[in-house]
Chain A
Amino acid sequence: MKYVIIGCSAAGVNAVEAIRSKDKKSKITVISDEKKPLYSRCLISYLLAGTIDNNKLWYRPDSFFKENKVDALLGVAAEKIDADKKEIILSNKEKVKFDKLLLATGAAPKMENIPGVATKGVFPLRTLNQTLEIQSALAKVKHVAVLGGGLIGLRAAYALKSRGKEVSVFVRSPQILSQIIDDGAAGIMQRHIEAKGIKIETGKAASKIFGKDSVKSIVLGDNSEYGCELVIIGKGVSPNIKIAKDAGIKTNWGVVSNEFQRTSDDNIFAAGDVCESYDIALEGPSINAIWPVACEQGRTAGLNMLGESQAYDGSLAMNSLEFFGLPVISIGITKPKKDIYKEIIKKDEVKNIYKKIVLRDDVIVGAVFLNSIDSIGIVGTLIKNKVNVSSIKDIILEDYFDYGRIANLIKEAKQGFKEQEFKETIMTL
């Protein structure tokens, strides 16, 4: 059997490990357009901030490929898939044959479609190379404009502020982190970040980037100008589906996969940021382009490529962020739009705590916990297992809420809680 994996970040690496856990012999080939791919993408903003040094980026050792007997084709891109011939054509025009293929092609940053976006000094923040380029440009930078108030934009802003730069964030939406948390939590976080010296302007977007040899300023919608020597674009990502689409594999927003991570082609699988599949809270297809999902889907894909029949329960949107000592974690649906959803909110202005759960028919489908995050994993358990929480919903946001409080619900549950560990905890209840 010949296994080929395109992409070597979280999903690709976990797929390799899953395959090798059961099959020590078959050939595994990994194709990555990055020369050194085994760094954690989530850590690059930490590197930019100077919180960690380069040697902490690597979540797998250099020996990973050798230990797992992987033929690693690094620094080359996969350009085309011939699904009938089961063949991949690389950017160096070489061909690679496969029996089972995993598309772990990830996502690429969305760039602003405005004049001047190609000017020197305008960067997205997705790869280690981009991070190093930003770092080497920093000496001449005093003012930074960050376009976008999402996770990457704010992480970049935080990192560059930590490097002593003057940072302004321009956010098109009326709130920061609009894809991740609700306006209640976002407001608290925004005031906190602003108090630490980062300027945030909501409802403002850049219409032009000025600069001949390199960036001089950006122009906003109201024609005001902000002088800066560096622009970071944090407008989210879009999945790298082109190679799959060209090969006739079913794509929508992402590469469509079923619960076995299988695409419309029986021998081709998808996992990670490129993959569109079932979302537990939405009860429909979505892309949750986050590290934990990429790992789990990669692992599931690997096992199914071996011929096993391992179903993935589905993904959930989940994010954990901390800026200047204020943490916030969100899971699932945090900004419900229809009235079939109910919200329970608890605010403590003295302790600067904000907690919210979103319910649909007494089942939790989303949560935001700000500055009191330790018990949110238990809420995640309730979301994943679709537990009716009518008997405990009034205490979920209390400080004393813990695993003990859901033990009875687990015992009574007729579905879910497949993991052995849940059973072990309630054996004596």
Chain B
Amino acid sequence: MKKIYCNIKKCLGCGSCEIACAVEHSKSKKLNKAIEESPLPIKRRKAQFVMQGVAISTGCHHCEEAACVAACMSGAMYKDKKTGETKHDKDKCVGCWMCIMSCPFGVLAREKQEKIVVKCDLCADREVPACVEACPTGALLFGTLKEFEKKLSSIKKG
């Protein structure tokens, strides 16, 4: 399936992906307005540090055997049978946080006012997710595992 991969060798941990994600999921989709919205838009991607000078941008991995889907007792979290994407239906979510308890990567966030979970939706309205577009070093790739591997080997050769 197509999802977002991070090349740790290129990731600076600058947080551009986080900002782009939060803005994309804001009401206005504009940074200057998004920062004044209430509730504040929530990022579904996190730039994290592995050690000094080594970073990784992490979001939902759309796991094949998604633990969050097994844990979801309201049927809000589900796998899209066509795309393989792990999707979340906010109308069904009751905010029990069982998916947060189960996510192996700790990438689900809480919208505390509405009491629902929010997660990476691969920017359903866009061709390329906002985080990937915003990454200044090209560390993020939106594609299949094969495409990611191909890109990595072309970097090595280059």
Q: Which residues of A contact B (CB under 8 A)?
A: 10, 14, 40-43, 46, 51-52, 56, 58-60, 291-292, 295-296, 299, 318-320, 322, 325, 327, 329, 331, 373-378, 380-381, 384, 402-405, 407-408, 419-422, 424-429
B12 is an interface residue with CB less than 8 A from chain A? no
Inter-chain contact B100/A43, CB cutoff 8 Å = no
B98–chain A nearest beta-carbon distance, Å: 5
B138 is an interface residue with CB less than 8 A from chain A? no
* A329 CA / B97 CA spacing, docked (Å): 8
Inter-chain contact A402/B106, CB cutoff 8 Å = yes
Enumerate the 7 nearest inter-chain pairs by beta-carbon distance, A residue then B residue, closest first. A404-B48, A59-B75, A377-B103, A292-B71, A42-B73, A295-B70, A378-B106
**Besides A292-B71, A292-B98, 16 new A-B residue pairs in contact (Cβ under 8 A), listed by A number:** A40-B74, A42-B96, A52-B94, A59-B73, A60-B75, A318-B102, A320-B97, A320-B101, A374-B108, A377-B104, A403-B56, A407-B8, A421-B63, A427-B149, A428-B7, A428-B152
18 inter-chain pairs at a CB distance below 8 angstroms, sorted by A residue, are: A14-B70, A40-B74, A42-B96, A43-B73, A43-B74, A56-B74, A291-B71, A292-B67, A320-B96, A327-B97, A374-B100, A374-B109, A377-B102, A378-B104, A403-B58, A404-B49, A419-B104, A424-B145
> Given that A424-B145, A429-B8 are contacting pairs, would A380 and B74 also be in contact in the complex, using a CB cutoff of 8 Å?
no
B80–chain A nearest beta-carbon distance, Å: 15
* Chain A residues with CB below 8 A from B71, complex form: 291-292, 295
B127 is an interface residue with CB less than 8 A from chain A? no
* Chain B residues with CB below 8 A from A59, complex form: 72-75, 92
* Chain A residues with CB below 8 A from B6, complex form: 425, 428
* A426 CA / B75 CA spacing, docked (Å): 31
Inter-chain contact A296/B70, CB cutoff 8 Å = yes
Inter-chain contact A322/B95, CB cutoff 8 Å = yes
Inter-chain contact A402/B46, CB cutoff 8 Å = yes
* A14 CA / B73 CA spacing, docked (Å): 12
* A421 CA / B106 CA spacing, docked (Å): 13
Q: Smallest CB-CB separation from B5: which chain A residue?
A: A424
Residues 1-16 (chain B) with a chain A CB within 8 angstroms: 5-9
Inter-chain contact B101/A331, CB cutoff 8 Å = yes
* A292 CA / B97 CA spacing, docked (Å): 12
Inter-chain contact B65/A419, CB cutoff 8 Å = yes
* Chain B residues with CB below 8 A from A58, complex form: 75
* A318 CA / B98 CA spacing, docked (Å): 9
Inter-chain contact A40/B75, CB cutoff 8 Å = yes
* Chain A residues with CB below 8 A from B128, complex form: none
Inter-chain contact A292/B102, CB cutoff 8 Å = yes
Inter-chain contact B97/A373, CB cutoff 8 Å = yes
B50 is an interface residue with CB less than 8 A from chain A? yes
Cross-interface CB contact of B58 among A292, A299, A402, A420, cutoff 8 Å? A402
B51 is an interface residue with CB less than 8 A from chain A? yes
